[in-house]
Amino acid sequence: MGGMADEADKDVFDQMAYRRALGGFGTGVALVAADDAQGRSHGMIVNSLTSVSLDPPIVLWCLALSSAAFPLFTDCTAFSVNILRAGEEDLVKAFSRKGDRILLPDQICRMETGAPVLSAAVASLDCRMRRRQLEGDHEVIFGDVVAYRAEHGVDALGFFRGQFVTLKTGA
């Protein structure tokens, strides 16, 4: 059974084997963005996006307590969730690294909340912070979607078993 070696190790949870098991669930790749107190736009990559409700429109995503971006995203009043295009692997790598992950003015636009929105995304959700909830080693962040935009006929970037994949649009 994946993470259990023998009876002596039955209380040891193999986190790497668990991560590999979770990798069997393919996801899209999104960049969440918000402004800091100085007005600089920051972004980070997430794959934990979930639609919670259609009426009212609510989404959630998860932020590790250990993330350097934790104070930025837990103190903000608005953020955007941007679903990435196929071929944006370099953007993912740049915004997955440690350190400052600043979005440049030519990469963003603004919608209703004023949060930075990635201009070249397949779809963007402009959200007001609804609430946060501590769960394990993550903070679950809920947002009220107040505006959105979407491009049709554009392939999206996905992630499956540790590899980038292209999520094709329908014919």
Answer whether residue 137 is part of any domain.
yes
Specify if 110 maps to a domain.
yes
- The model's pLDDT over 49-92, given as tens digits with 9 standing for 90+, comes to 999 999 999 999 999 999 999 999 999 999 999 999 999 999 99
CATH code of the domain containing 79: 2.30.110.10
Q: Residue 102 has what DSSP assignment?
A: B
The per-residue pLDDT of the chain, averaged, comes to 91
Query: The domain containing residue 110 runs over which residues?
Result: 27-160
Look up tokens 């609430």; give the residue: 131
Give me the number of domains the chain comprises.
1
Q: Which helix (H) or strand (E) holds 19?
A: helix 15-22
- Do the domain assignments include residue 84? yes
Q: For 122-161, what is each residue's pLDDT tens digit?
A: 999 999 999 999 999 999 999 999 999 999 999 999 999 9
Tell me the pLDDT band of 98, cut-offs 50, 70 and 90.
confident
User: Is residue 147 in some structural domain?
Assistant: yes
Is 0.75 surpassed by the pTM of this model?
A: yes
Q: Does residue 35 fall inside a structural domain? A: yes
CA torsion sign, 111 to 117 to 118 to 124? negative
Kindly state whether residue 6 falls inside one of the protein's structural domains.
no
**DSSP state letter for 40:** -
**Is the residue at 12 inside a domain?**
no
